[in-house]
Amino acid sequence: MQDPINETVKKFDPLDMNNYRIEKLPKRQKSKFGKGLAIAGIPIALIAFILFAYLIDLPFLYVSDVSRLESASAIKAFTTLGSDGFYRSNQFMLAIFLAGIILWITEAIPNYLTSLILIISLVLTSVLPEKQAYAELGHPVMWLNIMSFVLASMLVTTGVAKRFALWFILKFGKNASSIFISFIVINITLSAFISATTAKAAILLPIFMVIAAIYGSYRGEAKNNFGRSIVLQNLLNINLGAGAFLTGSGANLLAAAIIGGAISGNIYFTDWMMAMFPIMVILMFIGYLLAMKVFFPLTKEESLPQIEGGMESLRVEYKKLGKLNFNEIKSVIIFVCILGFWATDTIHGISATSVAFVGAIVALMPRIGVVKWNDVDIPWHLMLFSAGAYTLGAGFSITDLPSISVNAFFDHLGIGNNTPFWVLYLLLTGVMIFSALIFQSKTMRAMIFIPIAIGVANRFGFSVLSLALPVAFMIEHVYVLPFNSKPAALLYETDQYTYADTFKFGFTMMVISWGLIILAGETWFRILGITPDGVF
């Protein structure tokens, strides 16, 4: 009788890192429900736009007194358009926003195409002046994203990121437990340098998949708790690592830009790191303990390598990189300098965008730099998607729709301005973190919920930072279900775990994360001056 595991090994070499490249992973087809949503998305979006733009009268959108407006750009628009014109502008803004949300959620058309439609819709309905709408593509955060991708490409092209990950595993990954802890350190380190979570997943996936195979978990029926744990812990840590730094993702940067606009100031790299780095590290180790002790405990057999000499395959891969070359050294120097300037931005006041600009220029400079433009991987479809989100944000600012809606909501419920701070804090952070179960885009969640948090803070007389910043800290919790983020979708294709596995582990971590951010609001965030004293 043939051994099915041995037959699998013969057909598929589980120790070959090339087998785990993104382009070689199988692509899952949409479910019938997903296909149905995609088909229905366009007509539903059109109906929603027509209803809210022309047919449904929403009295709460009508503003008769300019003193009720929070945004300076909204006050200017109201003065220019008058109360009736301002009401029509708000109607169109709401209709465009709802139609866009429907198209994004149903994925009826590509996300970047939805963004382009939103931008031109805001122009044609006169919600935004043409120049302002198109200018969002040149938003400082957009430039920071572009420059960050240049710098990340530098690390990937020169092999520095892969070299570091392989070296660390070979140096410290002596047994199952130390391997998992090693990946925590690797994720934290890469998160400080690489702002794209998908890029981090692409770098680490071949490495931890080979290790999973060494410990007996690979494609087909040969799966075990080691494989489930190493993939799901890396998914968790890729996202938590991004949440530890302002530059960890474009959504973090967008949230900081929105909050900075509301306070007429800046959210610095140092401010974000001081608040979230210790919390995210604590969560990573909590995730490690829960995975190893509760959800995916390893048997004695699973704790031992199943393929003799398996780690040698990683050592061979590491040796293929050769000796550390001059370009790799220059890459490390450039990025350490950039990180140093980011970490001291409160001292010198140079923006993260300016620092990344200089770093990217040096990296691309002929004879001096280390990467060529053709080697730079910039996902322009994501850039266009982000531009649409920023343009919607500009529309929110000029119409003051979030504040108007928040005020109408609380007035309807009869909630007075004496609502305790902790009630608002729990409500806003809870809605933000659990919205990740539904929404597929971190950028979209930032664009929706950060303005709402700002509106609530303004209504109840609390500091914008005290509510909006903790809400922003919840952006990166997108690891529960495969459709919650691109890394989640990517790692699900490894076929190492089920929906039930990722939900029970991810949802537990989500609840713990919410509890920890509540605790931080009463302790750590008070010390940092984010949340006020004596309000919990």
Q: Which of 186, 173, 160 is nearest to 238 (CA)?
A: 186
Q: Which of 299, 459, 396 is nearest to 73 (CA)?
A: 396
Q: Which of 443, 397, 74, 62 is nearest to 254 (CA)?
A: 443
| 244 secondary structure, DSSP code | T
> What pLDDT score was predicted for residue 308?
66
Residue at 223 is within a domain: no
> What pLDDT score was predicted for residue 527?
93
Q: Which of 453, 488, 516 is nearest to 231 (CA)?
A: 488
Residue at 383 is within a domain: yes
> What pLDDT score was predicted for residue 91?
93
> What pLDDT score was predicted for residue 23?
52
Q: How far is CA 353 from CA 142, 357, 393, in A?
A: 9, 6, 19
Q: What is the amino acid identity at position 422?
A: W
> What pLDDT score was predicted for residue 117?
94
| 395 secondary structure, DSSP code | H
Residue at 499 is within a domain: no
Q: Residue 479 is encoded by which pair of tokens?
A: 């690891």
Burial of 27: CB neighbours in 10 Å, binned 0-12, 13-18, 19+: exposed
> What pLDDT score was predicted for residue 92?
94
Residue at 364 is within a domain: no
Burial of 349: CB neighbours in 10 Å, binned 0-12, 13-18, 19+: exposed
Cα 18 to Cα 24: distance, rounded to the nearest angstrom: 8
> What pLDDT score was predicted for residue 6?
47
Q: How many domains does the chain have?
A: 1
| Length of the chain (residues) | 536
Q: What is the amino acid identity at position 131?
A: K
Q: Which of 56, 442, 502, 4 is nearest to 251 (CA)?
A: 442
Q: Compute mean pLDDT per 10 residues along the chain, 536 residues long, and list them.
A: 45 54 57 80 94 90 79 82 89 92 84 91 93 87 81 80 80 83 88 77 79 73 80 92 87 85 80 93 95 89 71 78 86 86 82 87 87 82 80 84 81 76 92 85 82 88 92 92 79 81 93 95 93 70
DSSP reduced 3-state for 275: helix
Give the H or E element holding residue 498: none
Cα 118 to Cα 96: distance, rounded to the nearest angstrom: 7
State the residue for tokens 């699998």. Answer: 8
Residue at 496 is within a domain: no
| 25 secondary structure, DSSP code | S
Residue-number span of the structural domain to which 57 is assigned: 31-135+379-399
Residue at 111 is within a domain: yes
Q: How far is CA 332 from CA 63, 196, 242, 536, in A?
A: 55, 18, 20, 44
Cα 423 to Cα 415: distance, rounded to the nearest angstrom: 12
State the residue for tokens 């979006």. Answer: 45
Q: Residue 186 is encoded by which pair of tokens?
A: 């690797």
Find the helix packing angle between 499-522 and 464-472, rounded to 10°.
Answer: 160
DSSP class per residue in 190-203: HHHH---HHHHHHH
**Contact by Cβ (8 Å): 119, 162:** no
- Where helices occur in 51-159 by DSSP H, the ranges are 72-106, 111-124, 130-135, 140-158
Q: Residue 156 is encoded by which pair of tokens?
A: 């990937």
> What pLDDT score was predicted for residue 8?
44
